[in-house]
Structure 1
Amino acid sequence: MTGQGVHAEVEVVTGAGCRIGNMPQKTEEISSISRSTMPSEDSVTVDFTAESGTEFNSTEEVFHYDDKTVHRFECKTGTTPSCPCEFVESRGCPVRSFRTTENALVVQFVARDIRNLREIVVGLREQFPDVSLRRLTRSQEPEANNNLVLINRDTLTERQQEVLETAHEMGYFGHPKDANATEVANALDINRSTFAEHLSAAQSKLLDSILEF
Protein backbone atom coordinates (compact mmCIF):
# COMPACT_ATOMS: atom_id res chain seq x y z
CA MET A 1 0.00 0.00 0.00
CA THR A 2 1.33 3.46 -0.88
CA GLY A 3 0.84 6.83 0.72
CA GLN A 4 1.18 5.66 4.33
CA GLY A 5 4.23 7.73 5.31
CA VAL A 6 4.14 10.13 8.26
CA HIS A 7 6.11 13.37 8.50
CA ALA A 8 6.90 13.99 12.18
CA GLU A 9 8.53 16.73 14.22
CA VAL A 10 9.63 15.56 17.65
CA GLU A 11 11.15 17.63 20.46
CA VAL A 12 13.57 15.82 22.76
CA VAL A 13 14.80 17.51 25.94
CA THR A 14 18.41 16.41 26.16
CA GLY A 15 21.98 17.49 25.73
CA ALA A 16 23.70 14.21 26.45
CA GLY A 17 25.10 12.38 23.47
CA CYS A 18 24.42 15.18 21.00
CA ARG A 19 27.45 17.15 19.87
CA ILE A 20 25.36 20.17 18.82
CA GLY A 21 23.41 20.07 22.09
CA ASN A 22 26.62 19.90 24.12
CA MET A 23 28.30 22.87 22.48
CA PRO A 24 28.95 25.55 25.13
CA GLN A 25 27.79 28.39 22.86
CA LYS A 26 24.23 29.64 23.20
CA THR A 27 21.81 27.73 20.99
CA GLU A 28 20.63 30.92 19.26
CA GLU A 29 24.13 31.26 17.77
CA ILE A 30 23.66 28.01 15.83
CA SER A 31 21.23 27.67 12.92
CA SER A 32 20.62 25.89 9.60
CA ILE A 33 21.70 22.49 10.92
CA SER A 34 21.71 19.59 8.45
CA ARG A 35 22.88 15.98 8.44
CA SER A 36 23.93 13.76 5.55
CA THR A 37 24.71 10.08 5.84
CA MET A 38 27.34 8.39 3.70
CA PRO A 39 26.41 4.67 3.69
CA SER A 40 29.57 3.65 1.84
CA GLU A 41 31.72 5.27 4.50
CA ASP A 42 29.43 4.54 7.46
CA SER A 43 29.66 8.17 8.60
CA VAL A 44 27.49 11.23 9.14
CA THR A 45 28.40 14.76 8.09
CA VAL A 46 26.83 17.64 10.03
CA ASP A 47 26.79 21.25 8.82
CA PHE A 48 25.64 24.23 10.85
CA THR A 49 25.78 28.01 10.54
CA ALA A 50 26.99 30.45 13.19
CA GLU A 51 28.18 34.03 13.52
CA SER A 52 31.62 34.51 12.00
CA GLY A 53 34.30 34.59 14.66
CA THR A 54 32.55 32.07 16.90
CA GLU A 55 34.94 29.21 17.67
CA PHE A 56 33.90 25.57 17.95
CA ASN A 57 36.08 22.63 18.87
CA SER A 58 36.94 20.09 16.14
CA THR A 59 34.90 21.68 13.35
CA GLU A 60 35.98 22.80 9.89
CA GLU A 61 34.98 26.17 8.47
CA VAL A 62 33.78 25.38 4.96
CA PHE A 63 31.95 28.51 3.79
CA HIS A 64 31.68 32.23 4.61
CA TYR A 65 28.94 34.69 3.64
CA ASP A 66 28.12 38.12 5.09
CA ASP A 67 28.78 37.72 8.82
CA LYS A 68 28.03 33.98 8.87
CA THR A 69 30.23 30.90 8.69
CA VAL A 70 29.22 27.34 7.84
CA HIS A 71 30.96 24.78 10.06
CA ARG A 72 31.24 21.04 9.40
CA PHE A 73 32.18 17.95 11.38
CA GLU A 74 31.94 14.21 10.79
CA CYS A 75 31.23 11.29 13.08
CA LYS A 76 30.94 7.55 12.63
CA THR A 77 27.45 6.10 12.76
CA GLY A 78 26.76 4.04 15.86
CA THR A 79 29.16 6.00 18.05
CA THR A 80 26.54 8.22 19.73
CA PRO A 81 23.51 6.02 20.52
CA SER A 82 22.29 8.58 23.07
CA CYS A 83 21.89 11.18 20.31
CA PRO A 84 18.22 11.55 19.27
CA CYS A 85 19.16 11.94 15.59
CA GLU A 86 21.22 8.77 15.60
CA PHE A 87 18.44 6.92 17.42
CA VAL A 88 15.90 7.92 14.75
CA GLU A 89 18.23 7.01 11.90
CA SER A 90 19.02 3.64 13.49
CA ARG A 91 15.30 2.87 13.03
CA GLY A 92 15.63 3.36 9.28
CA CYS A 93 14.39 6.98 9.07
CA PRO A 94 16.92 9.57 7.83
CA VAL A 95 16.70 12.85 9.71
CA ARG A 96 15.49 15.54 7.30
CA SER A 97 16.44 18.45 9.56
CA PHE A 98 16.88 19.35 13.20
CA ARG A 99 17.34 22.48 15.27
CA THR A 100 18.12 23.44 18.83
CA THR A 101 15.80 25.10 21.32
CA GLU A 102 16.31 25.75 25.02
CA ASN A 103 17.78 22.49 26.39
CA ALA A 104 16.19 20.50 23.56
CA LEU A 105 16.51 19.24 20.01
CA VAL A 106 13.66 19.34 17.49
CA VAL A 107 14.06 16.53 14.96
CA GLN A 108 12.13 16.18 11.69
CA PHE A 109 11.88 12.86 9.87
CA VAL A 110 9.50 10.76 7.76
CA ALA A 111 8.42 7.43 9.23
CA ARG A 112 7.36 4.59 6.93
CA ASP A 113 3.98 4.32 8.62
CA ILE A 114 2.19 4.94 11.92
CA ARG A 115 3.57 1.82 13.59
CA ASN A 116 7.11 2.85 12.68
CA LEU A 117 6.48 6.33 14.13
CA ARG A 118 5.00 4.93 17.32
CA GLU A 119 7.99 2.60 17.83
CA ILE A 120 10.38 5.53 17.42
CA VAL A 121 8.48 7.80 19.83
CA VAL A 122 8.17 5.02 22.44
CA GLY A 123 11.88 4.24 22.07
CA LEU A 124 12.84 7.90 22.49
CA ARG A 125 10.69 8.17 25.63
CA GLU A 126 12.53 5.19 27.10
CA GLN A 127 15.87 6.98 26.66
CA PHE A 128 15.08 10.64 27.25
CA PRO A 129 13.21 12.37 30.09
CA ASP A 130 10.90 14.59 28.03
CA VAL A 131 9.73 13.83 24.48
CA SER A 132 6.93 15.76 22.75
CA LEU A 133 5.38 15.21 19.34
CA ARG A 134 5.17 18.78 18.05
CA ARG A 135 3.80 18.21 14.55
CA LEU A 136 2.40 15.30 12.57
CA THR A 137 1.38 15.12 8.90
CA ARG A 138 0.08 11.90 7.47
CA SER A 139 0.45 11.14 3.78
CA GLN A 140 -2.79 11.20 1.80
CA GLU A 141 -3.77 9.07 -1.17
CA PRO A 142 -4.30 11.22 -4.31
CA GLU A 143 -8.01 10.43 -4.32
CA ALA A 144 -8.47 11.12 -0.61
CA ASN A 145 -11.08 13.85 -0.07
CA ASN A 146 -12.05 13.57 3.58
CA ASN A 147 -9.67 14.88 6.24
CA LEU A 148 -12.20 15.05 9.08
CA VAL A 149 -11.25 13.16 12.21
CA LEU A 150 -13.41 12.65 15.32
CA ILE A 151 -11.51 13.46 18.51
CA ASN A 152 -12.94 11.87 21.64
CA ARG A 153 -11.85 14.08 24.55
CA ASP A 154 -13.62 11.76 26.98
CA THR A 155 -10.61 9.46 26.76
CA LEU A 156 -8.60 12.10 28.64
CA THR A 157 -8.76 12.48 32.40
CA GLU A 158 -9.62 15.91 33.82
CA ARG A 159 -5.99 16.35 34.85
CA GLN A 160 -4.71 15.43 31.38
CA GLN A 161 -7.08 17.95 29.79
CA GLU A 162 -5.93 20.60 32.27
CA VAL A 163 -2.28 19.89 31.48
CA LEU A 164 -2.86 20.15 27.72
CA GLU A 165 -4.95 23.31 27.99
CA THR A 166 -2.49 25.03 30.35
CA ALA A 167 0.50 24.09 28.21
CA HIS A 168 -1.26 25.40 25.11
CA GLU A 169 -2.40 28.65 26.76
CA MET A 170 1.10 29.34 28.08
CA GLY A 171 2.68 28.78 24.66
CA TYR A 172 4.50 25.54 25.46
CA PHE A 173 3.79 24.16 21.97
CA GLY A 174 4.79 27.36 20.16
CA HIS A 175 8.00 28.00 18.26
CA PRO A 176 9.79 29.57 19.87
CA LYS A 177 8.25 28.50 23.16
CA ASP A 178 6.71 31.13 25.43
CA ALA A 179 6.99 28.75 28.39
CA ASN A 180 9.13 25.71 29.17
CA ALA A 181 8.13 22.50 30.96
CA THR A 182 9.22 23.78 34.37
CA GLU A 183 7.13 26.94 34.05
CA VAL A 184 4.02 25.03 33.00
CA ALA A 185 4.53 22.52 35.80
CA ASN A 186 4.82 25.36 38.34
CA ALA A 187 1.59 26.90 37.02
CA LEU A 188 -0.11 23.54 37.54
CA ASP A 189 1.50 23.14 40.98
CA ILE A 190 3.11 19.83 40.04
CA ASN A 191 6.71 18.81 39.46
CA ARG A 192 8.24 18.60 36.00
CA SER A 193 8.30 14.79 35.83
CA THR A 194 4.57 14.61 36.69
CA PHE A 195 3.84 17.20 34.00
CA ALA A 196 5.80 15.12 31.47
CA GLU A 197 3.88 11.96 32.46
CA HIS A 198 0.46 13.62 32.07
CA LEU A 199 1.47 15.26 28.78
CA SER A 200 2.83 12.01 27.35
CA ALA A 201 -0.30 10.08 28.34
CA ALA A 202 -2.60 12.75 26.88
CA GLN A 203 -0.67 12.91 23.60
CA SER A 204 -0.74 9.12 23.26
CA LYS A 205 -4.52 9.05 23.76
CA LEU A 206 -5.06 11.82 21.21
CA LEU A 207 -2.85 10.04 18.71
CA ASP A 208 -4.90 6.89 19.16
CA SER A 209 -8.00 8.93 18.32
CA ILE A 210 -6.44 10.68 15.31
CA LEU A 211 -4.52 7.83 13.77
CA GLU A 212 -5.40 4.37 12.64
CA PHE A 213 -3.10 1.72 14.10
Structure 2
Amino acid sequence: MSSRGVRAEVVITDPSACRVVGASQGSGQIQRVTRSSVPNDGRTAVEFTATDDHGAEGVEEVFCHGDETVYRFARDASETPACACEHVETHGPPVRHLRATDGALVLSFLAGDVATVRSVVVDLREEFSGVSLRRLTRSAGPDDEEELVVVDRATLTDRQREVLETAHEMGYFEHPRSANATDVSEALDINRSTFAEHLASAQSKLLNAILDD
Protein backbone atom coordinates (compact mmCIF):
# COMPACT_ATOMS: atom_id res chain seq x y z
CA MET A 1 0.00 0.00 0.00
CA SER A 2 1.09 3.57 -0.65
CA SER A 3 2.22 5.87 2.16
CA ARG A 4 -0.19 8.49 0.79
CA GLY A 5 -2.92 7.08 2.99
CA VAL A 6 -5.74 4.58 3.13
CA ARG A 7 -9.43 4.64 3.93
CA ALA A 8 -10.69 1.79 6.10
CA GLU A 9 -14.24 0.62 6.70
CA VAL A 10 -14.78 -1.62 9.72
CA VAL A 11 -17.88 -3.58 10.72
CA ILE A 12 -18.61 -4.49 14.37
CA THR A 13 -21.55 -6.64 15.50
CA ASP A 14 -20.84 -6.49 19.24
CA PRO A 15 -23.67 -4.47 20.90
CA SER A 16 -21.22 -3.11 23.49
CA ALA A 17 -19.32 -1.28 20.73
CA CYS A 18 -21.96 1.46 20.63
CA ARG A 19 -25.52 1.95 21.79
CA VAL A 20 -26.67 2.52 18.20
CA VAL A 21 -25.85 -1.12 17.40
CA GLY A 22 -28.72 -2.27 19.60
CA ALA A 23 -30.89 0.55 18.29
CA SER A 24 -30.45 -0.64 14.71
CA GLN A 25 -31.80 -4.09 15.58
CA GLY A 26 -35.22 -2.56 15.99
CA SER A 27 -35.14 0.12 13.30
CA GLY A 28 -33.32 -1.82 10.60
CA GLN A 29 -30.97 0.95 9.49
CA ILE A 30 -29.60 4.07 11.13
CA GLN A 31 -27.82 6.16 8.50
CA ARG A 32 -27.09 9.37 10.35
CA VAL A 33 -25.01 9.22 13.50
CA THR A 34 -23.18 12.27 14.86
CA ARG A 35 -20.89 12.69 17.85
CA SER A 36 -19.70 15.80 19.66
CA SER A 37 -17.70 16.50 22.81
CA VAL A 38 -18.82 19.18 25.25
CA PRO A 39 -15.88 21.48 26.15
CA ASN A 40 -14.91 21.52 29.84
CA ASP A 41 -17.61 18.94 30.53
CA GLY A 42 -15.94 15.68 29.65
CA ARG A 43 -19.11 14.30 28.08
CA THR A 44 -19.77 13.04 24.58
CA ALA A 45 -23.19 13.48 22.99
CA VAL A 46 -24.38 11.09 20.30
CA GLU A 47 -27.38 11.64 18.03
CA PHE A 48 -28.90 9.14 15.62
CA THR A 49 -31.88 9.16 13.28
CA ALA A 50 -34.32 6.26 13.09
CA THR A 51 -37.52 5.75 11.12
CA ASP A 52 -38.95 2.98 13.32
CA ASP A 53 -38.99 2.03 16.98
CA HIS A 54 -35.29 1.77 17.85
CA GLY A 55 -35.61 -0.25 21.04
CA ALA A 56 -32.56 1.37 22.68
CA GLU A 57 -32.54 2.31 26.34
CA GLY A 58 -31.38 5.56 27.88
CA VAL A 59 -31.96 7.78 24.84
CA GLU A 60 -33.90 11.03 24.52
CA GLU A 61 -36.15 12.03 21.62
CA VAL A 62 -35.05 15.49 20.51
CA PHE A 63 -36.63 16.09 17.10
CA CYS A 64 -39.24 14.56 14.84
CA HIS A 65 -39.93 15.28 11.18
CA GLY A 66 -42.23 13.11 9.10
CA ASP A 67 -41.35 9.48 9.69
CA GLU A 68 -37.85 10.28 11.02
CA THR A 69 -37.02 10.86 14.66
CA VAL A 70 -33.72 12.09 16.07
CA TYR A 71 -32.58 10.60 19.37
CA ARG A 72 -29.73 11.64 21.64
CA PHE A 73 -27.78 10.15 24.51
CA ALA A 74 -24.75 11.37 26.42
CA ARG A 75 -21.85 9.48 27.89
CA ASP A 76 -19.33 10.58 30.50
CA ALA A 77 -15.69 10.55 29.51
CA SER A 78 -13.47 7.88 31.05
CA GLU A 79 -9.72 7.33 31.29
CA THR A 80 -9.94 4.36 28.93
CA PRO A 81 -11.85 4.25 25.61
CA ALA A 82 -15.43 3.11 26.16
CA CYS A 83 -16.81 2.80 22.64
CA ALA A 84 -15.57 1.75 19.21
CA CYS A 85 -15.07 5.32 17.99
CA GLU A 86 -12.91 6.21 20.98
CA HIS A 87 -10.77 3.13 20.39
CA VAL A 88 -10.20 4.24 16.79
CA GLU A 89 -9.39 7.81 17.73
CA THR A 90 -6.78 6.84 20.34
CA HIS A 91 -4.66 5.83 17.33
CA GLY A 92 -4.92 9.30 15.77
CA PRO A 93 -7.51 9.26 12.96
CA PRO A 94 -11.01 10.59 13.72
CA VAL A 95 -14.04 8.55 12.68
CA ARG A 96 -15.31 10.09 9.44
CA HIS A 97 -18.54 8.20 8.93
CA LEU A 98 -20.73 6.16 11.23
CA ARG A 99 -23.91 4.19 10.65
CA ALA A 100 -25.66 1.11 11.97
CA THR A 101 -27.81 -1.47 10.25
CA ASP A 102 -29.43 -4.68 11.47
CA GLY A 103 -27.32 -4.91 14.60
CA ALA A 104 -23.99 -4.02 12.97
CA LEU A 105 -21.96 -0.85 13.40
CA VAL A 106 -20.14 0.40 10.28
CA LEU A 107 -17.46 3.05 10.76
CA SER A 108 -14.80 4.47 8.47
CA PHE A 109 -11.62 6.45 9.04
CA LEU A 110 -8.55 7.67 7.16
CA ALA A 111 -5.07 6.54 8.17
CA GLY A 112 -1.62 7.51 6.98
CA ASP A 113 -0.58 3.90 6.41
CA VAL A 114 -1.73 0.30 6.62
CA ALA A 115 0.18 -0.21 9.89
CA THR A 116 -2.18 2.25 11.61
CA VAL A 117 -5.20 0.43 10.21
CA ARG A 118 -3.79 -2.86 11.46
CA SER A 119 -3.26 -1.41 14.96
CA VAL A 120 -6.83 -0.09 15.05
CA VAL A 121 -8.32 -3.43 13.99
CA VAL A 122 -6.21 -5.36 16.51
CA ASP A 123 -7.30 -2.97 19.26
CA LEU A 124 -10.98 -3.30 18.30
CA ARG A 125 -10.77 -7.11 18.16
CA GLU A 126 -9.23 -7.21 21.63
CA GLU A 127 -12.14 -5.20 23.01
CA PHE A 128 -15.15 -6.32 20.94
CA SER A 129 -16.36 -9.43 19.19
CA GLY A 130 -17.51 -9.58 15.56
CA VAL A 131 -14.93 -7.11 14.18
CA SER A 132 -14.07 -7.33 10.49
CA LEU A 133 -12.30 -5.08 8.00
CA ARG A 134 -14.80 -4.73 5.18
CA ARG A 135 -13.08 -2.33 2.83
CA LEU A 136 -9.61 -0.86 2.40
CA THR A 137 -9.03 1.87 -0.19
CA ARG A 138 -5.66 3.34 -1.12
CA SER A 139 -5.32 6.98 -2.10
CA ALA A 140 -3.65 7.57 -5.44
CA GLY A 141 -1.28 10.17 -6.84
CA PRO A 142 -1.70 12.11 -10.10
CA ASP A 143 0.66 9.76 -11.93
CA ASP A 144 -1.16 6.56 -10.96
CA GLU A 145 -3.20 4.87 -13.65
CA GLU A 146 -6.00 3.94 -11.27
CA GLU A 147 -7.49 6.41 -8.82
CA LEU A 148 -8.54 3.82 -6.25
CA VAL A 149 -7.84 0.24 -5.33
CA VAL A 150 -10.66 -1.34 -3.32
CA VAL A 151 -10.78 -4.73 -1.64
CA ASP A 152 -14.16 -5.68 -0.18
CA ARG A 153 -13.77 -8.50 2.34
CA ALA A 154 -17.54 -8.90 2.44
CA THR A 155 -17.29 -10.87 -0.81
CA LEU A 156 -15.54 -13.68 1.09
CA THR A 157 -17.44 -16.29 3.07
CA ASP A 158 -16.60 -16.76 6.75
CA ARG A 159 -14.82 -20.02 5.89
CA GLN A 160 -12.76 -18.39 3.14
CA ARG A 161 -11.66 -15.62 5.50
CA GLU A 162 -10.75 -18.21 8.13
CA VAL A 163 -8.66 -20.14 5.60
CA LEU A 164 -6.83 -17.00 4.43
CA GLU A 165 -6.22 -15.71 7.94
CA THR A 166 -4.95 -19.08 9.20
CA ALA A 167 -2.68 -19.56 6.19
CA HIS A 168 -1.30 -16.05 6.61
CA GLU A 169 -0.73 -16.41 10.35
CA MET A 170 1.06 -19.74 9.87
CA GLY A 171 3.37 -18.34 7.19
CA TYR A 172 1.92 -20.17 4.20
CA PHE A 173 2.42 -17.10 1.98
CA GLU A 174 5.98 -16.36 3.17
CA HIS A 175 9.06 -17.17 1.11
CA PRO A 176 10.31 -19.60 2.11
CA ARG A 177 7.09 -20.94 3.59
CA SER A 178 6.84 -21.49 7.34
CA ALA A 179 3.91 -23.87 6.81
CA ASN A 180 2.71 -25.99 3.89
CA ALA A 181 -0.80 -26.92 2.78
CA THR A 182 -0.85 -29.99 5.02
CA ASP A 183 0.08 -27.92 8.09
CA VAL A 184 -2.64 -25.36 7.44
CA SER A 185 -5.34 -27.90 6.57
CA GLU A 186 -4.58 -29.83 9.77
CA ALA A 187 -4.83 -26.61 11.80
CA LEU A 188 -8.22 -25.96 10.20
CA ASP A 189 -9.25 -29.61 10.66
CA ILE A 190 -10.03 -30.04 6.97
CA ASN A 191 -8.38 -32.11 4.22
CA ARG A 192 -5.89 -30.65 1.76
CA SER A 193 -8.29 -30.64 -1.18
CA THR A 194 -10.88 -28.66 0.81
CA PHE A 195 -8.19 -26.21 1.92
CA ALA A 196 -7.02 -25.78 -1.67
CA GLU A 197 -10.59 -25.22 -2.86
CA HIS A 198 -11.35 -22.53 -0.26
CA LEU A 199 -7.98 -20.86 -0.82
CA ALA A 200 -8.40 -20.77 -4.60
CA SER A 201 -11.91 -19.32 -4.35
CA ALA A 202 -10.81 -16.65 -1.86
CA GLN A 203 -7.76 -15.67 -3.89
CA SER A 204 -9.85 -15.51 -7.07
CA LYS A 205 -12.33 -13.12 -5.44
CA LEU A 206 -9.57 -10.88 -4.10
CA LEU A 207 -7.74 -10.80 -7.44
CA ASN A 208 -10.96 -10.00 -9.28
CA ALA A 209 -11.53 -7.05 -6.95
CA ILE A 210 -7.96 -5.79 -7.39
CA LEU A 211 -7.52 -6.37 -11.12
CA ASP A 212 -11.05 -5.64 -12.35
CA ASP A 213 -10.95 -2.72 -14.73
Structure 2's unaligned 5+ residue stretches are: 174-202
What SS does the aligned partner of 1:16 have?
Answer: helix
Q: Equivalents in 1 of 2:129, 2:52: separation in Å? A: 34
**In the alignment, does 2:120 pair up with 1:120?**
yes
What TM-score does the superposition give when structure 2 sets the normalisation length? 0.61
Shift of 1:134: 1.0
Q: Encode CA deviations 1:22-81: one digit per residue, 9 max, x unaligned.
A: 449614164322223456544322111123776754333333221211112222333773
**In the alignment, does 2:121 pair up with 1:173?**
no
**In the alignment, does 2:26 pair up with 1:14?**
no
2:27–2:54 Cα contact (<8 Å) kept: no
80 and 196 in structure 1: CA distance in 2 versus 1, 3 angstrom threshold: farther
Deviates more, 1:75-84 or 1:104-113: 75-84
Paired residues, number: 171
What SS does the aligned partner of 1:126 have?
Answer: helix
Q: Equivalents in 2 of 1:148, 1:69: separation in Å? A: 36
Q: Equivalents in 2 of 1:19, 1:58: separation in Å? A: 9
Shift of 1:92: 1.8
RMSD: 4.0
Which structure has the larger Rg over C-alpha atoms? 2
Shift of 1:20: 1.7
1:125–1:131 Cα contact (<8 Å) kept: yes
Q: Encode CA deviations 1:79-110: one digit per residue, 9 max, x unaligned.
A: 77352222112222211122223442111111
What SS does the aligned partner of 2:85 have?
Answer: helix
List aligned pairs for 1:110-149, cutoff 5 A.
110-145=110-145
What TM-score does the superposition give when structure 1 sets the normalisation length? 0.61
203 and 95 in structure 1: CA distance in 2 versus 1, 3 angstrom threshold: farther
1:98–1:107 Cα contact (<8 Å) kept: yes
141 and 64 in structure 1: CA distance in 2 versus 1, 3 angstrom threshold: same
Counterpart position of 2:185:
none
- Identical pairs, percent: 40
Q: Equivalents in 1 of 2:129, 2:85: separation in Å? A: 16
1:37–1:45 Cα contact (<8 Å) kept: yes
Counterpart position of 1:162:
none
Deviates more, 1:35-44 or 1:5-14: 35-44
2:59–2:71 Cα contact (<8 Å) kept: yes
